[in-house]
A and B are shown apart, each in its own frame.
Chain A
């Protein structure tokens, strides 16, 4: 049972990870380490490796763009920012997220009563 639950939770995290990344970027540009730090606070990301394929995919679909910035302490940083399409996309997805949460909560409450 615990295995199944773990699997389901992993699937849920995976589903919302994209939304979270977009949300973080909507508040300002960030490079992967910053994104990871924020995601880690919310315990959404277990391993960092998961993030990179996702960022690349979002960039390739045109939701994100990036620019290089030199770092004083390390390799140059890749700062991601939301494109206009991305902002549009985020709004739509956020909208449906709230609806979804609402529906899910109501369904769970109904089952309880």
Chain B
């Protein structure tokens, strides 16, 4: 179904399809432009129109009432293109044509200027539209290249969106009426006025209609429908420019964001550390590149279409390129498929979790285990990690990383290959039997359970024992040359039988993770102390009198009586206790308590002094 327009050519009425009408009227105004300055221009015009009417009449009949695009095309072909009319002119007339200016202002439209073009005529078209010297536009375009190549793709979009001024009429419209604030406000006012009048008219129509509403209810709804339709059309016309501008701005901003992030990722691809991550994260390096392309297309195409639509609305370009829309849709779809493919491929490799539990025998008969940590610094040097990278992780000269743990991974270079380095953790649980039990739980993810378990097994981690001293590696490593990063993790579990004790070295701070204990002491406060496994769980052996952070708010238990302090000196024995201060020496015994000071010089021992005090 197509909309038709009714026109009158040389007194004959034609029904003509809208797009055919556009073409015909453009054609006629072009011819008019040619002959308006010639003697008898109007006459020529009306002769031509009469001929066109005749030709169109021969193309319509009672059966085929509407003039179609093809009809207009054949008429134009027979009549000749405006350029061919120049043949009938003398050179003088042609010169006049070039300086020809219509007495009636022609509505200005944005076109590409093929006559002054350097590349696509975009700059010259814009210059003509805004009536500024082309040099400035070109300069601006050139300068914008330094903003992430902004103008390059903007130029390409404009090239696609803006139609080329092919006919003389289009070239006239390209230079047409000067665009300034007055003009724009005039257009806006006209459109607003149009809106108002339309609303008024329909308002009246409705009023009239409602009177004979009963007689003709169908008519009423028809009118209402028409009104809403018309209102929407005019309304959208009125706001088209504003919407266009908003679309354009957002499109450009989003596009810039996307470009800079994609650009950033591409640049980062040359950075070694980032590069390492790309290699160990994606199954294949091409997946990364594909992902980047896919994401660019998937997000970029809608942004470009926003800009495209925005420009079209803003400059009222009624020219749509079906081929462009279809190919944009296709390219977007390709981007979508690529993103999906890479996402599924990579995601699938993280799909299943697998773990292995490796028991480690503890060779000691003692009741207390001393747990300590082999710090990463030593491990790094054992791994021959190069100095520079070591500094990277430890630039302040101390173990910065030790406290930033869990889920922190590092890609490191050893002599032979690259390693994925992760941080292990330790948990302490009660044992069911009478012996210490030690387990290393290795975890990883993979395409399926088997792959995940195999991957977990390949994690390298070591614990060293020296009688009752157990030293845990702070880090575990994965050979990055034949393994990928798949959430590898190491959890060490030490099971302590009831009544036995573990001493947590201060170095374990950050290594023990969420260890449950009777007093709900934080991991960080547990280190440096001995803990005994009781029925209820781990209990601190040597924490008495020490206030932990989490106990501030609890009611303080009564302070236990302080143990007696004995000072053994060569001449005197000083005892400070609940009985007061007693000083015993060969010459005298001194006893100070709440009852006073008692001094016994008989050389007798403490018992006498006490008695004397009483």
Identify the A interface with B (CB < 8 A): 10, 14, 32-33, 46-50, 52-57, 59-60, 73-78
Contacts and interface: CB of A to CB of B under 8 A. Distances in A.
Interface string B127-159: 000000000000000000000000000000000
B563 interface: no
Interface-centre pick from A48, A50, A54, A75 (highest chain B CB count, 10 A) = A75
Nearest to A48: B79
Contacts of B38: 53
B53 A53 contact: no
Contacts of A50: 80, 84-85, 87-88
A56 B35 CA distance: 11
Nearest to B35: A53
Q: Which of A32, A50, A52: most chain B Cβ within 10 A?
A: A52
A47 B51 contact: no
Contacts of A46: 80, 84
Contacts of B87: 10, 14, 50
B57 interface: yes
Contacts of A73: 57
B48 interface: yes
A10 B48 CA distance: 21
Q: Which 7 A-B pairs have the closest CB atoms?
A: A47-B80, A49-B80, A75-B10, A56-B40, A49-B79, A53-B88, A52-B47
Interface in B1-22: 9-12
Interface of B: 9-12, 31, 35, 38-40, 43-44, 47-48, 50-51, 53-54, 57, 78-81, 84-85, 87-89
Interface centre among A10, A46, A49, A60, by most B CB within 10 Å?
A49
A111 B190 CA distance: 71
B40 to A, nearest CB: 4
A56 B44 contact: yes
Contacts, number: 72
Contacts of A57: 39-40
Contacts of B85: 47, 49-50, 53
B40 A60 contact: yes
A77 B51 CA distance: 9
Contacts of A32: 47, 50-51
Given A14-B88, A48-B80, A49-B31, 15 more contacts: A14-B87, A32-B47, A48-B51, A49-B80, A50-B80, A50-B87, A50-B88, A53-B88, A54-B88, A55-B47, A56-B44, A57-B39, A73-B57, A75-B12, A75-B54
Q: Which of A14, A48, A60 has the most CB of B within 10 A?
A: A48
Contacts of B50: 32, 74-78
Nearest to B48: A52
Contacts of B31: 49
Given A49-B84, A53-B35, A33 B79 contact: no
Given A46-B80, A53-B85, A60 B47 contact: no
B214 to A, nearest CB: 47
Contact of A75 (B11, B78, B89): B11
A10 B83 CA distance: 14
